[in-house]
Amino acid sequence: MPKLTIVFDNIPLEPGLQTDWGFAAVITGFAKTILFDTGCNADVLLANMETLEIDPVDIRTVVLSHPHEDHIGGLAGFLRVNPGVEVFVPDGFPCEVIEQIELMGAEPLLVGEGGEIVEDVWTTGPLFNSTVEQGLVLSANGETSLVTGCAHPGIDIMVEEAAEASGATVQLVVGGFHLLKHSKRAAHKTAEKLRDLGVERVAHHTARERRPSRACSRCSTTASWKAASATSSNSENGGRSMGSPLCHFEFAVSDPEKSKAFYGKVFGWKFDTDPNMNYTMIDPGGEPKGGMMKKPDQMPAFALSVYFCVDSVDETIATAQAAGATLAVPKTEIPGMGFWAFFLDPDGIAVGVYESSK
């Protein structure tokens, strides 16, 4: 009997399960046991598998939805336990991720179009919006289901592609919809579209409303913004604002509690921590606001990240590259809020930029 078990999420549904930012699910009952995404932390992923009595060595196929940290961050740790897997990644995945998969002994398989990868299991193929993403389509017991990571291309678009890939109507959708920051009207329109496409049930992986919306990324950067608009002053500088104020800062630290005590004592900052999300908002007593998280294993060093407000991420990145910068994280959408990106200046310093859509 096919079964989908969520093994990584930000909200626990059973006692003993650990939480962190991201999503992963194990799918059994088909010709191969499949792991869909890996969350952001291998320790949490593997601990939850153990609690749920799932042996990671039984997994033969890994499917990665998109190259953001909260969906692939646990991959390296998983491959250290079980390197003997095939890993399906959509065409457009970063080369360094594919190379790392090979170096760890697994077999990366590049998906260029939708199709069957295991009997009764299909991929939608690569879809694009702020990043490349694929969904996983399952057919069992006369029902077709779609599993998504974040649905950056649009959940309705992914359902349409899933139906085309499998040749069947999708009745169940499980995973992320990326609708948290959408208006109620937009969310209702999406729900109506899903109903029109034949979807009968959904199981939504999401953030809680009170938690600042942290955009997923390969570098575990953040998007919990108090969006300050850059003061505009059009001039000969290509119509861009002459000002780019600092609009968010974030610490990646070894011990958040210790760091909160330190900065609270030094600066008198106030903190609001959501234990389910493992993320802390910082109120320094003025603008901009900040955030703090425990440094993910994949980050090379403890860090303080900053983001500057700009009129156009595209123009700023182009100008920076022309001046000698290197693109570190491409333009990424925060639905309903804006866009962000990271570049490395000529000295290799990471600089974040943010463009508000409001």
Please, what's the b/e burial string for 286-317 (b: 16 or more CB within 10 A of its CB; e: otherwise)? Answer: eebbbbbbbbbebbeeeeebbbbbbbbbebbb
Label residue 338 left, alpha or beta by phi (over 0 means left) and psi (-120 to 50 means alpha).
Answer: left
HSE of 183 in the Cβ direction (CA atoms, 13 Å)? Answer: 4
Of 57-71, 198-212, 228-242, 272-286, highest mean pLDDT:
57-71
pLDDT for residue 105 is more than 70: yes
Q: What pLDDT sits at residue 181?
A: 62
Q: Which of 98-107, 126-135, 219-228, 301-310 shows the lowest per-residue confidence on average (mean pLDDT)?
A: 219-228
Chain centre to alpha carbon of residue 207: 12
* Class of the CATH domain delimited by 246-356: alpha beta
Burial 158-186 (b: 16+ CB within 10 A, else e): bbbbbbebbebebebbbbbbbbbeeeeee
Residue 38 has pLDDT above 80, yes or no: yes
Torsion of CA 227, 67, 6, 15, to 10 degrees: -60
Query: pLDDT band at residue 250, thresholds of 50, 70 and 90?
Result: confident
In three-state secondary structure terms, 146 is strand
pTM above 0.85, yes or no: no
- For the chain, domain boundaries: 3-205, 246-356
119: its two tokens: 């009997």
User: Do 246-356 and 3-205 have the same topology in CATH?
Assistant: no
pLDDT single digits (tens) 109-121? 999 999 999 999 9
Q: How confident is the model at residue 236 (pLDDT cuts 50, 70, 90)?
A: very low
| Residues 234-263: b if buried by 16+ CB within 10 A, e if exposed | eeeeeebbeebeebbbbbbbeebeebbeeb
Whether the predicted pLDDT of 155 surpasses 60: yes
Q: What is the CATH number of domain 3-205?
A: 3.60.15.10
Q: Does the pLDDT of residue 203 top 90, yes or no?
A: no
Provide the mean pLDDT of the chain. Answer: 82
Closest CA to 150 of 40, 18, 227: 40
